[in-house]
Structure 1
Amino acid sequence: MRLVCQLFARPALLLLCCLLPANMALTHYEYYTDGGIQSGLSDDQPNFTLNGKNISLYSGAIHFFRVHPQYWRDRLRKLRAAGLNTVETYVPWNLHQPEVGLFDFGDGGTEFEEFLDIVRFIQMAKEEDLFVIVRPGPYICAEWEFGGLPSWLLRYPDMKIRTSDVQFVKLVENYYVKLLALLAPLQFTKGGPIIAFQIENEYGNTDNKVDPVDTKYLETIKNIMITNGINELFFTSDTPSNGFTGTIPGVLATANFQDGAKNELTLLKNFQPNKPLMVMEYWSGWFDHWTNQHQTRTVTSFTNALEEIIKLNSSFNLYMFHGGTNWGLLNGANIGKGIDNAGYSPDTTSYDYDAPLSENGDYTEKYHKLKELVSKHSNIKFQQPEEPALVKRVAYPSINVIPHQLSLGDLIAQNDVSPIESPKLMSMENLNINNNSGQSYGYIVYRKTNVTIASNSTLKIEGRICDSIMVLINGELVSPILEESSDLNNFGYWNLKDSTLNLGANEYKSITLDLVVENWGRNNYGLLDQFNQKKGLWQGDVLINNEVLTNFQIIPLQFKKEWVQKLTNWKDAKLKVGPTLYKATLNIDEVKDTYIDTRNWKKGIIIVNGFKLARYARVGPQQCAYLPAPILKKGDNEILIFEHFTPGKVINFATDPVFETL
């Protein structure tokens, strides 16, 4: 027999204890909606109540857009099997509105369409007996490209994002009208699973200690949400030891941190003494930057800090419970102060986060410790599923890279956007393409034809490169190859300002000069001025021997799925040095999860069956790209690798990730 006890928040009611056989334990929804729904999640007292009954929120973050939809249920059930009662997710504006006027919530026809059915994800969470916390932004951070903001916002030269600027607020409102119309019917008080909504995200981190924080903006976002039918509990989240400038009256403040629970929660309690404590982001691990060491956190430190949070009578949300993957070149980055790319540090494709559930969905030691801890501190024993079986993985046999390739020139000749003639350099975002939304991701080529270059000439790029560049003369690479992390301090990368390259002893006449720039991911965190981060060459001029070059052809290489799948005229040729797209075919009889091992390649991107799977860089730390089975199919699978420098001769597969930094 299990003892099920609950102290009701209403004073007239006593301690309720009832004896139920183990196989008759209630679900969360049976218990918290018994007798009908009169109220939602409440913070009007020192402990949370849901529909009048006390509740401790034991939550974990799963971002629906970082998990293949065919694995949503698997990941949600594993969360519930750990004993958690709530799942939290961000909502990425840049995927739901990738172009001005184009919205996709699972039926919009964009490349990410199948990942974007947020309604289905939330409904599925309820089916798995989970409540839902939604953090809709408009800014989400999340180590996601531009913090979830659409890059076309950068086309507004005078607009200040994440402020009460009239232009920005109007664009947010246009998006929220669409999004909140889908979320409003899913609120708990309407019979759905959503119990709380965040207003913006970590807004206190915009505080530069000089200009006042624009709390009017937070009020505006709150009012837009109310106007569009949102009536569940609102909250903000910041690290208490950084202050409470990102809060507004009448809205619950919550805490984000990894260690120092007693100090952080004491500060929070002192700030709002009669409110429940909630750690909205308890950081279970950490994320990786390219060229840094792989980040991990010990099981002991994870468990000890979490138990301290629980003993301080605080609810929590694990950030992350399951990290997932930054598909489609959508990883974010961090940056130093200002907008000139100083201190830039892009994130890897893997968002494993050293979380309790790994990137591929495996249980970790943290998972089992979490489950023990939650069980130990849970007063009520609800129905709980068995742990789902692990998704099997396989290392497919290595495949030879068929010498089917397309050079940079071949790709430009087949490009889906005609070259844009421009007298001056222009950033990706300012190109008049994609319904006047500019270019968001991928590469941009600045081509100058009929150029004469004297022997030992010097190419100079003013300002910083955003983010890396390959220099080609008549299709031949003349800039350095990325071999190790220290190479980021040399020509071709963001660390140098006003960088120069000696073009060699040869003399060239009437040549074509190509400057190929890659966007490695826009900044997702920091002060407001750090978000005006454009990509490409835009901070100054390009010069040869101090003579400014003008009149460029600008060519966006976006590697969109529809374009990739129509590429033709593949050539049989020897493997070459320089930016080249290679094609290989994986023929399989059984479809399973796997990893593509990239250690015999240098730098580039991987596309599988038209889907932009991952970036890779031999410098590490990520050395394998997770490839879930739903992206594959029985029979022939097309694997494309756009290698910047020197290709591998084979494509290898693995069952497990590899982390190594050069």
Structure 2
Amino acid sequence: MTLSVSAVLPTLYEYYTLPAITSGLSANQSYFTLNDRNITLYSGAMHYFRVPKPYWRDRLRKMRAAGLNAVETYIPWNLHEPEDGKFDFGAGGSDMQDFLDVKEFFTIAQEEDLLAIARPGPYICSEWEFGGFPSWLLRTKDIKVRTSDSKYMKYVTRYFNMLLPILAMLQFTKGGPIVAFQIENEYGSTEGAGFVPDRVYLQQLVDLYKKHGINGLLVTSDSPTAHRDVGTLPGVLLQTANFGSNPKPDFDLLKQLQPNKPTMAMEFWGGWFDHWSETHHTTSDEDFRTTYEQILSYPASVNIYMFHGGTSFGFMNGANLNNGEDDNSGYQPDTTSYDYDAPLTESGDYTDKYVIVKELVKKYNTVLTKLPVAPSITEKVQYQKTAIEKEMLLDDIVSNLPNVVQSLNVVSMEQLPINNNSGQSYGYLIYRRDNIDIPANSVLTIEGRICDTVVVLVNGMLMSKPLIEQDGLDGFGFWRIKDGNLTLGPRSLKNATLDLVVENWGRVGYGLLYQFNQFKGLWQGNVLLNNEKITSWKLYPLEFKKSWNNNLVGWNNPSGRWAPGPSLYKATLTIKKPKDSYIYMEDWTKGIVIVNGFVLGRYSRIGPQQTLYLPAPFLREGNNTIIVFEHYIPAKQIKFSRTAQFKTLRMRRNHA
């Protein structure tokens, strides 16, 4: 009997660890070696915190089946230390704890015969909320993130003292999967506006790694043609490149900056991400193939960013600033979907790009090892639409809230004395002024810019305009205008209640250092009524934490009038066997969806995202509760789809 080729091939770990591990990943020559054997890294990005834990193995096996030999992931500080001094690595009790067992993720990667690249930041970008920084950092006055500022480094050191020992145990030289660690992230991009990247800071990070026994290869990533080597420590850290196309100029420059060192793309952007109000970004398979083959034939190692994008569940989407200003006028919030037009879709399905990767890795990889059979795709279903059964208007929502803060003036979310004095990180903040007299045709003015959206109500009636079209972002209620004005109607009111419901739509995660002043809410000025300052506010944090979501009381039968304005709507999905699906929100206006207490993500009619991925692990047999927090105008039912729905635009780009 003749054995198949795959049956006699060694696994990846057998090839690189037998008979013994004597060294890790080396960049001491013009090519990589691992345990003194030549290796080209064929890596793909997958973020454990964007994928339900029960699906980690499936996605990792699909990566290995494509021929990849490594997985890369960021590590988000804001999830692992959600409150000042409170950590969660999978059992910390936060709403995201089921995503956070980073040790188990790397262990599963090794079990699936993949090496790993860890990118712990502490800044990660990743189109993630605040670039991975916890918002409570902003409570420290004059803190300078991403520098050697002692106020900032005190918190980095405390966090790394918890994280790095976990990663140290997972090093390849200790028998684990991690072969390389990235120091900071795209640090060269902080250059500008009079700031020179702080190499003292980079050295402090290196010292922390060494202190915790990490002896693996340390790298940085940047665009060399844009920033040369200002974001690295030449001779100490190996610099890698980030780009979306035309790799040769960046690779050639890397060779000049680092003679006789290996060449690698830490981020080859095989797709792109979306901002709300844009059309969905895709890159053609032809362009993807061309660039990927140019990288492999250079020859260079490469990490495809993203290989599997996943989802920025909850409130974890980040944002960009597109105009270099520091006043948020160019703010661009990211969508919940992080599909990224990747080789594996948001829900883990194969695409033509997956086939391209498999073909090209097989063509160029000279080290033959055993590969698994590609797993079958996960079944998707379109559940029957379900009617809204209950509703809760804003006053009833407020009556459920556990915290109210009395404040003379409006203040930002972060400054609230809640969450063990960590402030409010995510969700909404209701600024309420009771017993206020509002003359006819009064003008409400919010000084500065709103961070990020506001819905205005008087006595529970919606005063501000619903966001129906993209152009609505240019009007009152959104960040694009400064010192916005709103007329409150023709009637004169006595002892009225004024509500300003303000949303954090995602903190900026990329840009120059001064742009990391990411306070949310109303904080840039006062709120005026007919040019007179309003004082004596009640502030209600509306965070939508799971424990609160699951214990709401005061639901009412739908009134039939479906009054516009911020309200909760509840439906029940009854199923026999949970399967993956998408919630289709095209008939709703703007808000969030909550499934069995967990905030699935955001929706907005302006697109491009029209569906929210609903993984089967979030569902259960029997009854499932779906709650929608709608800002403006609701629909009367919840619809589902078997596939993701986007508006589409083909494009190429050089950088965010």
TM-score range relative to shorter protein: over 0.9
434, 456, 469: which one aligns with 1:484: 469
Alignment of 1:207-222 (within 5 A): 207-208=191-192, 210-222=194-206
| DSSP-derived class of the 1:295 partner | strand
Alignment correspondent of 1:423:
408
Residue 127 in structure 1 maps to residue 114 in structure 2: no
Alignment partners' CA distance in 2, 1:514 and 1:545: 16
Alignment partners' CA distance in 2, 1:412 and 1:457: 25
| DSSP-derived class of the 1:140 partner | coil
Alignment correspondent of 1:353:
340
Amino acid at match of 1:92: P
Alignment correspondent of 2:556:
571
Alignment partners' CA distance in 1, 2:439 and 2:445: 14
Alpha-carbon shift at residue 343 of structure 1 (Å): 0.1
313, 328, 337: which one aligns with 2:299: 313
| DSSP-derived class of the 1:497 partner | coil
Alignment correspondent of 1:265:
251
Alpha-carbon shift at residue 340 of structure 1 (Å): 2.0
The alignment of Structure 1 onto Structure 2 pairs a total of residues equal to: 644
Amino acid at match of 1:61: A
**Does the CA-based 8 Å contact 2:281-2:648 persist in structure 1?**
no
| DSSP-derived class of the 2:483 partner | strand
Alignment correspondent of 1:195:
179
Alpha-carbon shift at residue 20 of structure 1 (Å): 9.0
Alignment correspondent of 2:354:
367
Alignment partners' CA distance in 1, 2:167 and 2:373: 30
Alignment of 1:128-277 (within 5 A): 128-208=112-192, 210-243=194-227, 244-249=229-234, 250-277=236-263
Alignment correspondent of 1:616:
603
Alignment partners' CA distance in 2, 1:661 and 1:413: 42
501, 507, 512: which one aligns with 1:522: 507
Alignment partners' CA distance in 2, 1:339 and 1:563: 35
Alpha-carbon shift at residue 569 of structure 1 (Å): 1.6
Q: Deviation digits for residues 426-446 of structure 1, max 9, x if unmatched?
A: 100000100100000000011
**Does the CA-based 8 Å contact 1:340-1:533 persist in structure 2?**
no
Alpha-carbon shift at residue 337 of structure 1 (Å): 2.8
| DSSP-derived class of the 2:280 partner | coil
**Does the CA-based 8 Å contact 2:282-2:648 persist in structure 1?**
no
Q: Deviation digits for residues 175-195 of structure 1, max 9, x if unmatched?
A: 001111111111000010000
Residue 324 in structure 1 maps to residue 310 in structure 2: yes
Alignment correspondent of 2:486:
501
Alpha-carbon shift at residue 338 of structure 1 (Å): 4.1
Alignment partners' CA distance in 2, 1:36 and 1:268: 33
- CA 1:642–1:221: 2 relative to 1, 3 Å: same
Alpha-carbon shift at residue 21 of structure 1 (Å): 4.2
Alpha-carbon shift at residue 660 of structure 1 (Å): 3.0
Q: Percent identity?
A: 54
Amino acid at match of 1:237: S
**Does the CA-based 8 Å contact 1:237-1:255 persist in structure 2?**
yes
89, 108, 131: which one aligns with 2:73: 89
Alignment correspondent of 2:639:
652
Amino acid at match of 2:513: L
Residue 47 in structure 1 maps to residue 31 in structure 2: yes
Alpha-carbon shift at residue 167 of structure 1 (Å): 1.1
Amino acid at match of 2:340: Y
Structure 1: segments with no counterpart, 5+ residues = 3-18
Alpha-carbon shift at residue 380 of structure 1 (Å): 2.1
Amino acid at match of 2:392: L
Amino acid at match of 1:287: F
**Does the CA-based 8 Å contact 1:292-1:661 persist in structure 2?**
no
Alignment partners' CA distance in 1, 2:157 and 2:212: 9
566, 575, 579: which one aligns with 1:592: 579
Residue 36 in structure 1 maps to residue 15 in structure 2: no
**Does the CA-based 8 Å contact 2:45-2:303 persist in structure 1?**
yes
Alpha-carbon shift at residue 615 of structure 1 (Å): 0.2
Alignment correspondent of 1:6:
none
Amino acid at match of 1:519: N
Alignment of 1:55-66 (within 5 A): 55-66=39-50
| DSSP-derived class of the 2:448 partner | strand
Alignment correspondent of 1:400:
387
Alpha-carbon shift at residue 382 of structure 1 (Å): 0.8
Alpha-carbon shift at residue 165 of structure 1 (Å): 0.3
**Does the CA-based 8 Å contact 1:254-1:278 persist in structure 2?**
yes
Is 96-105 or 19-28 further displaced after alignment? 19-28
| DSSP-derived class of the 1:464 partner | coil
Alignment partners' CA distance in 1, 2:125 and 2:253: 24
Alpha-carbon shift at residue 210 of structure 1 (Å): 2.6
Q: Deviation digits for residues 139-182 of structure 1, max 9, x if unmatched?
A: 00000000000000010111101100001111001000111111
621, 624, 639: which one aligns with 1:637: 624
| DSSP-derived class of the 1:75 partner | helix
Alignment correspondent of 1:557:
542
| DSSP-derived class of the 2:282 partner | coil
Alignment correspondent of 2:654:
none
Structure 2: segments with no counterpart, 5+ residues = 650-656
Residue 628 in structure 1 maps to residue 624 in structure 2: no
Alpha-carbon shift at residue 469 of structure 1 (Å): 0.3
Alpha-carbon shift at residue 504 of structure 1 (Å): 1.4
Alpha-carbon shift at residue 260 of structure 1 (Å): 1.6
| DSSP-derived class of the 1:600 partner | coil
| DSSP-derived class of the 1:349 partner | coil
**Does the CA-based 8 Å contact 1:603-1:618 persist in structure 2?**
yes
Alignment correspondent of 1:15:
none
Is 300-309 or 337-346 further displaced after alignment? 337-346
**Does the CA-based 8 Å contact 2:6-2:371 persist in structure 1?**
no
**Does the CA-based 8 Å contact 1:338-1:529 persist in structure 2?**
no
- The alignment's TM-score, normalised by the length of structure 1, stands at 0.96
Alignment partners' CA distance in 2, 1:54 and 1:483: 56
Alignment partners' CA distance in 2, 1:54 and 1:347: 40
Alignment correspondent of 1:12:
none
**Does the CA-based 8 Å contact 1:620-1:661 persist in structure 2?**
no
| DSSP-derived class of the 1:125 partner | helix
Alignment correspondent of 1:284:
270
**Does the CA-based 8 Å contact 1:465-1:537 persist in structure 2?**
yes
Alignment partners' CA distance in 2, 1:374 and 1:653: 37
- The alignment's TM-score, normalised by the length of structure 2, stands at 0.97
Alignment partners' CA distance in 2, 1:544 and 1:181: 55
Alignment partners' CA distance in 1, 2:160 and 2:258: 29
Structure 1 outlier segments of 4+, above 3 Å: 19-22
Amino acid at match of 2:378: V
Alignment of 1:407-486 (within 5 A): 407-417=393-403, 419-486=404-471
Amino acid at match of 2:536: N
Q: Deviation digits for residues 320-352 of structure 1, max 9, x if unmatched?
A: 000000001100000143432110000000000
| DSSP-derived class of the 1:424 partner | coil
Alignment partners' CA distance in 2, 1:604 and 1:556: 16
Amino acid at match of 1:219: Q
**Does the CA-based 8 Å contact 2:52-2:617 persist in structure 1?**
yes
**Does the CA-based 8 Å contact 1:92-1:149 persist in structure 2?**
yes
Alignment partners' CA distance in 1, 2:11 and 2:62: 16
Q: Deviation digits for residues 467-487 of structure 1, max 9, x if unmatched?
A: 000000011111101110000
Alignment correspondent of 2:62:
78
Alpha-carbon shift at residue 200 of structure 1 (Å): 0.5
Alpha-carbon shift at residue 123 of structure 1 (Å): 0.2
Amino acid at match of 2:297: K
364, 368, 372: which one aligns with 1:385: 372
**Does the CA-based 8 Å contact 1:91-1:137 persist in structure 2?**
yes
| DSSP-derived class of the 2:357 partner | helix
Alignment partners' CA distance in 1, 2:433 and 2:4: 78
Alignment correspondent of 1:302:
288
